[in-house]
Amino acid sequence: MFDTKVYVERRNRLRKMFRTGLLLFTGNGESPMNYPSNAYKFRQDSTFLYYWGINYPDCAAVMDIDKDTEYLYVNDVDIDDIIWMGPQESVKEKGARVGVHSVCPLKDLFTSINNAVRLGRKIHFLPQYRQDNTEMLSTLLGIKSKHIKNYVSQKFIKAVVDMRSVKDEYEIEEIEKACNIGYKMHTTVMKMCKPGLMEYELAGAIEGITIANSGYISFPVILSQNVHILHNHDHSQKLAANRMLITDAGAENEMNYCSDFTRTIPVSGKFTQKQKDIYNIVLEANNKTIELAKPDVSYKSIHLEIAKIITHGLCNLGIMRGNVDEAVENGAHALFLPHGLGHMMGLDVHDMENLGENYVGYDDEIIRSDQFGTSSLRMGRRLQKNFVITDEPGIYFIPELIAKWKSEKINMEFINYDKVNEYMDVSGVRIEDDLLITENGCRLLGKKRIPVTVEEIEEIMKK
């Protein structure tokens, strides 16, 4: 947990953005796997953690703007809890650690919100992603649960996004720790990888690293020889010498801050010429992002710039053809890069995605494209100092998408399908690093960059 004053200051800043009403915060409850007392690892809501710091199930909180008061709602443990879980911090102690002195049992939340509803007061709340919290809001507010989403507060969303987008020094330190766990995960894959092993042996080893570092995975590990399946959680294949292997994985450290890295390596430990051809284009795109990312530059413009690098590289190989600018304008590159360059990262690996991607990644000036590929860009707006973003270009050979474009004659003039056929067995490459935007540019997060050049990867895999 951070120092008490961090939470007090955050709440003070938030409070000042409102003139009237109540801000209602929902914490998360336990989530059962297969019966109620057998739960998934508990994960607190990130906005709740950000303002209230308490990593404990079944909490809620309210800021009353008009009365300038704040309340934390959480039940105290009883003797039954102590028998099963051991002695616990009291709710008073919990509150004191984050500077809250009014701590009440959860049932009081119902009384206080009911009163506010009766008086017709404005109650701001955020979008919900867990059914039990939606149901609780439905009961509290007297709104059918399926309509709760229509009553979320845009003002509240925007205030939270404004604050959480710009990371403070304490957060950067934590993200850096998560990145250092990420380094261990990815170098472990590089060292362990060899033909004949099963994908799950590597996936299990790196998930174990997160736990052994007092954390957890920041999202389910993507580790697969089917690199072209963007979010492939299947780990059932045997590693084969002629394949590429993607690992897209990160850690959440004990303070719940995230990392997210991707490396693509040759299972044999040595790149073939065709694998290297594709790899080096993606690496150029990844490095170009690091060169271009700085305050005031929009991430959408960088996405389009790296789309040109990818198109240019594929033209050099004869896979694409024609004028690079025209190809990108027409979205032809998206046959090979159907996703965006990156996203915000912080307490969530896709930071604040639960509040709405467009609030986080776009604004009145930079709006989301509706063109296939570029429309998947989660983060498009201008960068600011202390934003943390991912830089994750890729090139993929997706058989079904290629077959569709070919049969529908989409962007025919820019694609040379005979040459595409020659590269199908490369499957794909994605390279992802985490960037902190600085005063005049950006820097890679983590003590050391995970091996990334062809030479560095071949070197570490040799050991």
Asked whether the beta carbons of 437 and 294 are under 8 A apart, the reply is yes
Nearer to ligand GLY, 199 or 260 (CB): 260
Out of ligand GLY, Mn ion, none, what residue 259 binds, judged by CB under 5 to 8 A for its kind, is none
Nearer to ligand GLY, 171 or 260 (CB): 260
By CB under 5 A, is residue 434 in contact with Mn ion? no
By CB under 5 A, is residue 289 in contact with Mn ion? no
Nearer to ligand GLY, 190 or 223 (CB): 223
Out of Mn ion, ligand GLY, none, what residue 348 binds, judged by CB under 5 to 8 A for its kind, is none
List the one residue from 46, 311, 376, 390 that touches Mn ion (CB under 5 A): 390
Shortest approach of ligand GLY to residue 248 CB, angstroms?
5
Nearer to Mn ion, 222 or 255 (CB): 222
Out of Mn ion, ligand GLY, none, what residue 171 binds, judged by CB under 5 to 8 A for its kind, is none
Nearer to ligand GLY, 95 or 393 (CB): 393
Nearer to ligand GLY, 128 or 262 (CB): 262
Shortest approach of ligand GLY to residue 267 CB, angstroms?
21
Angle at 298 (CA atoms; ends 390, 262), nearest 5 degrees: 15
Stretch that binds Mn ion, among 194-202, 258-266, 293-301, 372-380 (CB under 5 A): 258-266
Angle at 62 (CA atoms; ends 60, 63), nearest 5 degrees: 150
- Write out the two tokens for 320: 């694409």
Shortest approach of ligand GLY to residue 113 CB, angstroms?
36
Out of ligand GLY, Mn ion, none, what residue 226 binds, judged by CB under 5 to 8 A for its kind, is none
258 phi, psi to nearest 5 deg:
-110, 160
Shortest approach of ligand GLY to residue 317 CB, angstroms?
26
Out of Mn ion, ligand GLY, none, what residue 288 binds, judged by CB under 5 to 8 A for its kind, is none
Nearer to ligand GLY, 91 or 222 (CB): 222
Nearer to ligand GLY, 228 or 343 (CB): 343
**Binding positions for ligand GLY, rule: CB under 6 A:** 219, 248, 260, 343
Nearer to ligand GLY, 10 or 430 (CB): 430
List the one residue from 174, 260, 277, 351 that touches Mn ion (CB under 5 A): 260
Shortest approach of Mn ion to residue 394 CB, angstroms?
10
Q: Using only the alpha carbons of the chain, give its radius of gyration.
A: 24
- Write out the two tokens for 136: 């609780």
Asked whether the beta carbons of 106 and 61 are under 8 A apart, the reply is no
From CA 408, how far away is CA 90, in angstroms rounded? 64
Shortest approach of Mn ion to residue 434 CB, angstroms?
8
Out of Mn ion, ligand GLY, none, what residue 253 binds, judged by CB under 5 to 8 A for its kind, is none
What does the binding site for Mn ion look like in residue numbers (CB under 5 A)? 260, 390
